[in-house]
């Protein structure tokens, strides 16, 4: 099991989540304009859920039906993307 970033993150990318993650498992997808969690690194601590102002992070078994595809997207893409450990690195630049 792991936590999953879903569609509400797209184009928002506050990156508040990366500041609280104890194991640095958030990765930046520039092409999707969102962050993704590597499920093999996530320890399911759950602190990122409350940190996300868009309510875009869910436990894998609680991902809403319309965002189920993001389980596979996080699993297949996150690990090959750059790790984001600071809000500045992950945050979307306004107007970009």
Contact residues: ligand SF4, CB under 6 A: 3, 5, 9, 12-17, 20-21, 23, 25, 35, 37, 42-48, 51-52, 54, 56-57
The CB-of-96 to ligand SF4 minimum distance in angstroms stands at 15
Q: Which is nearer to ligand SF4, 37 or 65 (CB)?
A: 37
Distance in Å, CB of 12 to ligand SF4, minimum: 4
**Cβ-based nearer residue to ligand SF4, 1 or 65:** 1
CA 6 – CA 22 distance, rounded (Å): 20
**CA pair distance 13, 22, nearest whole angstrom:** 19
Specify whether the backbone of 22 is left (phi greater than 0), alpha (psi in -120 to 50) or beta: alpha
* Minimum CB–partner distance for residue 65 and ligand SF4 (Å): 19
């Amino acid at each position: 099991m792991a936590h999953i970033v879903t569609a509400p993150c797209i184009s928002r990318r506050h990156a508040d989540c990366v500041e609280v993650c104890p194991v640095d498992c958030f990765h930046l997808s520039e092409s999707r304009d969102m962050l993704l969690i590597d499920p093999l690194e996530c320890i399911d601590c759950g602190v990122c859920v409350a940190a996300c102002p868009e309510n875009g992070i869910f436990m894998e078994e609680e991902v809403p039906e319309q965002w189920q595809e993001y389980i596979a997207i996080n699993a297949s893409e996150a690990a090959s993307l750059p790790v984001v450990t600071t809000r500045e690195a992950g945050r979307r630049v306004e107007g970009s």
